[in-house]
Amino acid sequence: MGLSERDRQVIWHPFTRQKNGIPPIPVTRAKGSFLYDENGNAYIDAISSWWVTLHGHAHPYIAEKIYRQALELEQVIFAGFTHEPAVQLAERLLPLLPGRFSRVFYSDNGSTSTEVAMKMAIQYWWNRGDKRRKKILAFRNAYHGDTFGSMSVSDRSVFTLAFHDLLFEVIFIDTPTVENIAATCELIGQHQEEIAAFIYEPLVQGAGGMKMYAAEMLNQLLAYLKQRQIICIADEVMTGFGRTGRLFASEYMEQRPDIICLSKGLTGGTMALGVTACTDLIYQAYCSDDAYKTFFHGHSFTANPIACAAALASLDLLVQNQSLQTVSAIQKSNESFAETIQQGGYPIRSVRVLGTLLAFEIDQGADEYLNHIGSVLTQQSLAEGVYLRPLGNTVYIMPPYCITEQELQKVYGCIQKLLSGI
């Protein structure tokens, strides 16, 4: 029995239709920008395997660090114990983060990093004796993860449809524009005494369709919120570690977050790890003689040493490889390709670029995740040796930083070929 057939007997895949779906591709190995299947076909991983891979697949430097750490200390309970990789990672991360952060709280994925952030913010007010502030403010069309808390602050969409009655109440606002910001601030003003925190994906709403909005407007909104002591939580799970051209997207704004969430690229895309970092003001609310003010949250694999070692190795590579310069070169190529397809007479609109990210909508069917054209394009791209995974009719690329100009041109050529066929 082939791997695909064995898989069909025992596995349930994420975000995948279980009936009439397309069978998964058995991947045997990966290297740099490429995934290789069991028949020896190579595919350029143009979306960094769900936005995680930074320096390329199976990077020998990270692999070596993981191996050495696994031989030394693979795991230890993180309540009552500590270890070098966790401490060193916090020491190295904190000065790099966009804001004045003083503590790192570890978890193991993006959803847990946002759950931790929201719990941390809500209990901050509770610990201070302010029992009114417990609501969360979030953007429409947002995505912050798949657990109940992170689903609650995400868009009410096809992803969350079965659970709407069970999600907690959130105040939703639109991403800010010159036209709507006054009304948005007025709405927030009416609720300011009840709002504990605001959670946002800075500059790009990823799973919501790679929607971009202006730094200047976000800065204005953050300034308004900060005047009202609302805790600002930047969800940089996708945008972190250079994706947008700066180390963190929050660097584009003067107003900095009070809490930041990181995962995906944190370990270069090799191990599952989440970070939630907060300012000292928030941390101090938990430093109390009262045991009830403890943050009762943790996961079995909190601060797993192998994952922390992988993150340290990825930070080394970000510096050694001058990744921000690489991202800027990829952005330039993306910009010139954006011009090419805008002038190509294709049925597309809203071509946009930020860092390694290039996205646009196809003018066919509805603007939604279930638009069938996405999976059709995936199949066609695979036949061209490129892996694309559009979000409905939103086509995007987000390649690993190791991608060469020649490989990028192959991805662009593939996109043009697919567009010509529509």
Ligand X SMILES: *Cc1c(COP(=O)(O)O)cnc(C)c1O
* Token duo for residue 58: 């199976």
Please give the residues from 110 up to 149 whose contact with ligand X meets the rule CB under 6 A: 110-111, 114, 143-145
From the list 270, 248, 272, 268, the residue with the least C-alpha distance to 259 is 248
Phi, psi dihedral angles at 274 (to 5 degrees):
-130, 150
Nearer Cβ to ligand X (127/244): 244
Tokens read off for 103: 């503590």
- Answer whether 306's CB lies under 8 Å from 70's CB: yes
Q: CA 395 to CA 384: how far, in whole Å?
A: 16
Total of residues contacting ligand X (CB under 6 A): 14
Interface with ligand X by CB under 6 A: which range of 32-40, 130-138, 231-239, 386-394?
A: 231-239
Q: How far is the CB of 108 from ligand X (least distance, A)?
A: 8
Asked whether position 65 contacts ligand X by CB under 6 A, the answer is: no
Q: Which residues pair with 361 in a beta bridge?
A: 349, 394
Which residue from 206, 265, 269, 400 is in contact with ligand X, where contact means CB under 6 A? 206
Smallest gap from residue 193 Cβ to ligand X (A): 28
Tell me the residue number closest to ligand X, measured at CB.
Answer: 110
Closest Cα partner for 284 from 299, 295, 274?
A: 295
By C-beta, is 181 or 207 nearer to ligand X? 207
Name which position in 33, 109, 333, 334 contacts ligand X (CB under 6 A). 109
Stretch that binds ligand X, among 234-242, 245-253, 314-322, 399-407 (CB under 6 A): 234-242
Tell me which of 54, 188, 238, 307 binds ligand X, using CB under 6 A. 238
Query: Among 259, 135, 154, which residue's Cα sits nearest to residue 196?
Result: 135
Tell whether residue 56 is a contact of ligand X (CB under 6 A).
no
Q: Identify the residue among 45, 115, 155, 235 touching ligand X (CB under 6 A).
A: 235
CB neighbour list of residue 213: distance below 8 Å, 6 or more residues apart: 175, 176, 177, 203, 205
Shortest spacing between CB 237 and ligand X, in angstroms: 4
Burial of 372 (0-12, 13-18, 19+ CB in 10 A): exposed
- If one asks whether residue 201 binds ligand X (CB under 6 A), the answer comes out as yes
Stretch touching ligand X by CB under 6 A, among 37-45, 78-86, 221-229, 230-238 = 230-238
Taking CB under 6 A as the rule, which mask of x and - marks residues 256-295 in contact with ligand X? -------x--------------------------------
Choosing from 46, 153, 237, 414, the residue that interacts with ligand X (CB under 6 A) is 237
Q: How far is the CB of 420 from ligand X (least distance, A)?
A: 31
The residue among 201 and 258 lying less far from ligand X, judged by its C-beta, is 201
Give the up-direction half-sphere exposure of residue 192: CA atoms within 13 A in the CB hemisphere: 13
Token pair of 151 as six digits: 């689903």
Q: Judged by CB, which is closer to ligand X: 267, or 333?
A: 267
Q: Given the complex with ligand X, which of 201 and 361 has the nearer CB atom?
A: 201
For 51, phi then psi, to 5°, come to: 75, 20
Q: How far is the CB of 235 from ligand X (least distance, A)?
A: 5
DSSP state of 95: G
Which C-beta is closer to ligand X: that of 203 or that of 217? 203
* Residue 127 or 154 having the CB closest to ligand X: 154
Residue 273 neighbours by CB distance under 10 Å:
28
State which residue, 116 or 188, has the beta carbon closest to ligand X.
Answer: 116
Rounded Cα gap, residues 280 and 97, in angstroms? 14
- The piece of 109-117, 126-134, 161-169, 325-333 that touches ligand X (CB under 6 A) is 109-117
Which C-beta is closer to ligand X: that of 47 or that of 285?
47
Phi, psi of 205 (to 5 degrees): -90, 105
What is the spatial distance between Cα 179 and Cα 219, in angstroms, rounded to a whole number?
Answer: 15
Q: Which two tokens stand for residue 254?
A: 């003067």
Q: How far is the CB of 272 from ligand X (least distance, A)?
A: 7
When the beta carbons of 66 and 142 are compared against ligand X, the nearer one is: 142
Q: Judging by DSSP bridges, how do beta strands 170-173 and 135-139 pair with one another?
A: parallel
105 DSSP assignment: E
Three-state SS string across 175-224, please? CCCCCCHHHHHHHHHHHCCCEEEEEECCCEECCCCCEECCHHHHHHHHHH
Q: Considering beta carbons, is residue 235 or 407 the nearer one to ligand X?
A: 235
* Binding footprint of ligand X on the chain (CB under 6 A): 109-111, 114, 143-145, 201, 206-207, 235, 237-238, 263
